[in-house]
Amino acid sequence: MSFPAIKLSLPAWLCEVLPAPEKVFVTAESRMALVIELAAANIRQGTGGPFGAAVFDLDNGRLIAPGVNLVTATCCSVAHAELVALMTAQRLVGNFSLAAAGCNVELTSSTEPCAMCLGALPWAGIRQLSCGARDSDARAVGFDEGDKPPHWPYLLEKRGIRVLRDICRPQAVAVLEQYRKQGGEIYNGKGQS
């Protein structure tokens, strides 16, 4: 029996949205603005859900890897923006742990991580997580974010991962609401959309 190769590719339109490689993102707000634009472009392009993420080098402010939600485009429930960004960054640096590769990185996510993405963060080797919209904002438009510990930011902090919340939250929430208003597919594990 043979099985198909598993391959996730970033959409071609990303090249049109991403800034020049020398662009420096000094503030959490500037990093979040890019991630929110990725989420909005993902909706416009019809390549997935209303979520964007990126891995940034905290030492020099440079973008290491972008990510957008590819769940519907790839028929893959784990192709969340955060995981796509982390997998891309890990491939680029050549290590499954960004910290072990000597990187001091932040994962910036347009929405707080769901239960699955939250579980991946300690092993990814990130030092900081910045979030735009809250879990409750994603749930308000119909997404099932899974079961997460109530004090998950504290638990990440205990593991040495700093958590920043509500960065550009109104703009991040607007992307979620735009997706719902346009009739975007609300996918979840309940067999419904």
Q: Which residues are catalytic?
A: 82
Are 126 and 89 spatial neighbours (Cβ–Cβ below 8 Å)?
Answer: no
Q: How far is CA 183 from CA 42, 49, 138, 175, in A?
A: 14, 11, 15, 13
Are 61 and 37 spatial neighbours (Cβ–Cβ below 8 Å)?
Answer: no
Rg of the Cα trace of the chain?
16
Can you tell me the distance from the alpha carbon of 86 to that of 92, in angstroms, rounded to the nearest whole number? 10
DSSP assignment string, 44-109 = HHTSS-S-EEEEEETTT--EEEEEE--HHHHT-TT--HHHHHHHHHHHHHTSS-TTTTT--EEEEE
Three-class secondary structure of residue 168 per DSSP: coil
Say how many C-beta atoms besides its own lie within 10 A of residue 25's C-beta: 23
